[in-house]
Each structure stands twice: as structure tokens, then as C-alpha cells.
Amino acid sequence: MLKEFRDFIVRGNVIDLAIAVIIGAAFGKIVTSLVGGIIMPPIGLLLGNVDFANLFIDLSGKHPVSLAEAQLRGLPVIAYGTFLNDIVSFVIIAFVIFLIVKAVNRNKRQETEELTKNCPYCLSSIPIEATRCSGCTSELKTV
């Protein structure tokens, strides 16, 4: 059982996944810093000096001055400014992942296209080395 576990851990997919999780966590911290420190302050400035990280709704009725004061006093609040920052972070991360997946898919498609050709009779995609079409069973001329 220990040998099976070792083989499982040493397999490339598990190591690749572990590396992806570590890089993803680091990337998440970078994006959080980008959103909180660079993107949201100019947006807040355009909206009238609003600090999104400090936006909250007081549920206690005690009217704290800031979110930090409310949290220090243990007052119930809805911290929707932090939620807005998290939404912007999520959109940025999702967009970057979309771009990465798009690039990988484009690369895979190019590799597949290099290994196939179209049948001149039925236009189905077949391997380059094929001598007979798998779609229409026509005999193909070898080049």
C-alpha cells in the first residue's frame, strides 16, 4: 500500500496539480493586492472618495465610524465593500484562466491539425498516414 501511495504521489499529474495549486494561491494574493491597492482606489476616487474596503451596513444601530471599529467592538455588520473587492478579484482571475485555457486549446488544435488530413471524398478528418478513409472507406492515394 505504501508503494502504491508513493507511485501515486510521484506521478506527473499529482505533482503538476500541486504546483498549480501553489502558483494559483500566490497568483490569488497578487490579484487581491492589485485589486485592493491599484484598481479599486481610482474607481473609489471617481465615485467620490469611496474606500470600497470600508463600505459596510451597520446592523447594530450603534453607528460605528468605520468597519475596523465595528469589527473591534464586535458589532454585526454586512461588509459589502470587501465583497465588491472579491468580485473584482474573481473576474480578473477568471479572465486570466480563460486566456490560459484558450491558448492551451489553440496549441492542442494546431498539434491535432498537423497529424491529420481531410479525406478528398467525404472531407472527414483522418490520420496523415491513413490509406483508407474511416468515414467513407474510400481508398486514398499515398503521397
Phi/psi at 59 (nearest 5 deg)? Answer: -100, -10
Indicate the pLDDT class of residue 139, thresholds 50, 70 and 90: confident
**Looking at the domain assignment, is residue 45 inside a domain?**
yes
Q: Does any domain span residue 11?
A: yes
Total number of domains constituting the chain = 1
Q: Is residue 124 part of a domain?
A: no
Asked, for residue 86, whether it belongs to a domain, the answer is yes
| 29 within a domain of the structure (yes/no) | yes
- Reduced to 3 states (helix: H, G, I; strand: E, B; else coil), residue 79 is coil
Structural contact between residues 89 and 28, judged by C-beta atoms closer than 8 angstroms: yes
CA 76 to chain centre: 33
CATH number at residue 34: 1.10.1200.120
Asked if residue 139 belongs to a domain, the reply is no
Calpha distance 14→7 (Å, rounded): 10
Tens digits of residue pLDDT in 17-49: 888 889 888 888 888 888 878 888 888 888 787
Q: Are 137 and 121 in contact (CB under 8 A)?
A: no
Of residues 83 and 7, more confidence is placed in 83
Q: Domain range holding 98?
A: 2-116
Residue 83: how many other CB atoms lie within 10 Å: 12
